[in-house]
């Protein structure tokens, strides 16, 4: 038996020395770059215009010379021939077996074709995630999620099967029916967005008189879609509500599922460096950051995906490398605090950079406040103005003044900004089923 075979999904790759991983990544990068250059008109034109061709990639430093692909470029070429993907497609249309699209929250959706080989690669990448989070063939996984045109949890479903778990697709049920089914089947694990994990616990208590931590058997929850599982205060809320370990992972339709938390929970996520190349780029200078402790924008390459390759995709996700090795023994580097924001979401308010996740961390650290909140940035005359709406939980209604004073202090400390605080009655702010829209910037709307 290979050492660590019961600990890692792929004990050889996940514990490979860093220098060897770099060699592997460089070889794979050359291969996927050549593949895109040879098979897609879009990529070849992009590279030709930049004056670079596959033979020019000899060292790691050369990788940064390859032009990045922006989401907007993909939008422009799609819905054209070969319909509907356009000429980034690297395989004949008949080899495409899967269609998904991005959620389009930042503009028109991008279509994502995959071949059957790509689809197996998706399940493989998810198996790394789930195995690292303690999923085993003894688990019965409940997925309380309607699978549809978005890739979310499809691959989690297939990876669960691949690993020998029992997978219960809980899609076409309402929240109450899902909870009762989970209870009836004694499901041991589930996958959902942080917003829904908290929403389900709320419904269980309010409408079914069930305490998920006591009355259900869920011991681990795999989160996706929102940063919540990497925000300590939100993670703690979910773990307490469910009496379960909550793990984060990061993925994107165009990239794949590229980072995961392990059971050692070092305070960040491992990048799957066997299947992906993650580069962190300084937002101002564009230089590649290899040292820990310096935040930048992630540029992602999926090293093995064939139908519509992802070569140096400008992900807009913000992250930084962690300095210490993870106690779990994996040699894959990890990003501290997960993806800490999106270059798109981080906005300047009164000249100060504001990440909505920093506000979430403060609000969710107050047990007197409910899970819901809303941030509205607007203009009062020429001056930026931020309103934060929160709800006191039923037992804390008479503590409003002291909560308000502490909240003002904490927010100023963490974000350097002042807010108009609005306290709303419990259960009156909007509830979201999947992904929340808690941040609204109305400054451009006038």
For residue 125, the minimal CB distance to Zn ion (Å) is 16
Cα Rg, the chain, nearest whole Å: 22
For residue 22, the minimal CB distance to Zn ion (Å) is 19
Distance CA 359, CA 65 (A): 37
Give the residue with the Cβ less far from Zn ion, 246 or 328.
328
Give the residue with the Cβ less far from Zn ion, 64 or 264.
264
Give the residue with the Cβ less far from Zn ion, 257 or 363.
257
Give the residue with the Cβ less far from Zn ion, 295 or 330.
330
Give the residue with the Cβ less far from Zn ion, 326 or 363.
326
Distance CA 23, CA 38 (A): 23
Contacts of 37 (CB under 8 A, 6+ apart): 43, 44, 47, 53, 54
Give Cα 63 to chain centroid, integer Å. 25
For residue 80, the minimal CB distance to Zn ion (Å) is 43
Alpha helices in 312-430 (DSSP H): 356-363, 400-415
CB atoms within 10 A of CB 87: 17
For residue 26, the minimal CB distance to Zn ion (Å) is 24
For residue 244, the minimal CB distance to Zn ion (Å) is 19
For residue 258, the minimal CB distance to Zn ion (Å) is 15
**Cα angle 165-197-334, degrees, rounded to a multiple of 5:** 70
**Cα angle 62-68-74, degrees, rounded to a multiple of 5:** 150
By 3-state DSSP, what share of the chain in percent is helix, strand and coil, each rounded to 5? 35, 25, 40
Give the residue with the Cβ less far from Zn ion, 318 or 326.
326
Alpha helices in 186-244 (DSSP H): 194-207, 212-215, 232-242
Contacting positions for Zn ion (CB under 5 A): 262, 264, 326, 328, 330
């Amino acid at each position: 038996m290979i050492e660590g075979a019961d600990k890692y999904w792929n004990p050889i790759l996940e514990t490979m020395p860093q220098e060897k991983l770099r060699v592997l990544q460089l070889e794979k990068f050359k291969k996927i770059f050549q593949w895109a250059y040879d098979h897609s008109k879009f990529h070849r034109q992009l590279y030709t215009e930049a004056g670079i061709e596959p033979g020019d990639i000899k060292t790691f430093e050369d990788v940064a010379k390859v032009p990045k692909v922006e989401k907007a470029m993909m939008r422009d070429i799609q819905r054209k021939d070969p319909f509907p993907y356009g000429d980034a497609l690297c395989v004949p249309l008949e080899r495409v077996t899967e269609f998904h699209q991005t959620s389009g929250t930042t503009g028109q959706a991008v279509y994502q074709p995959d071949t059957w080989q790509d689809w197996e690669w998706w399940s493989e990448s998810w198996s790394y995630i789930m195995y690292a989070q303690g999923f085993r063939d003894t688990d019965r996984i409940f997925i309380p999620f309607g699978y549809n045109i978005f890739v979310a949890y499809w691959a989690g479903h297939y990876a669960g099967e691949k690993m020998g778990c029992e997978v219960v697709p809980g899609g076409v049920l309402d929240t109450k029916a899902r909870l009762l089914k989970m209870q009836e089947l004694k499901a041991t694990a589930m996958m959902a967005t942080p917003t829904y994990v908290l929403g389900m616990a709320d419904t269980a208590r309010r409408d079914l008189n069930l305490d998920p931590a006591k009355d259900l058997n869920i011991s681990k929850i795999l989160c996706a879609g929102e940063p919540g599982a990497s925000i300590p205060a939100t993670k703690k809320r979910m773990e307490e509500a469910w009496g379960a370990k909550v793990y984060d992972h990061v993925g994107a339709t165009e990239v794949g599922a590229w980072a995961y938390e392990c059971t050692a929970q070092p305070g960040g996520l491992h990048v799957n460096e066997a299947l992906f190349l993650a580069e962190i780029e300084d937002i101002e200078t564009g230089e590649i950051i290899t040292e820990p402790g310096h935040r930048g924008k992630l540029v992602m390459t999926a090293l093995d995906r064939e139908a519509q390759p992802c070569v140096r995709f400008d992900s807009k996700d913000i992250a930084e490398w962690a300095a210490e090795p993870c106690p779990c023994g994996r040699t894959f580097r990890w990003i501290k605090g997960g993806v800490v924001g999106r270059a798109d979401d981080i906005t300047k308010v009164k000249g100060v950079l504001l990440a909505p996740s920093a506000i979430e961390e403060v609000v969710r650290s107050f047990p007197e406040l409910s899970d819901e909140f809303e941030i509205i940035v607007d203009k009062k005359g020429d001056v930026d103005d931020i309103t934060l709406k929160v709800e006191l939980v039923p037992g804390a209604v008479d503590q409003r003044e002291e909560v308000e004073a502490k909240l003002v202090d904490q927010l100023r400390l963490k974000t350097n900004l002042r807010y108009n605080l609005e306290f709303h009655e419990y259960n009156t702010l909007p509830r979201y089923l999947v992904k929340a829209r808690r941040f609204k910037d109305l400054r451009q709307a006038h």
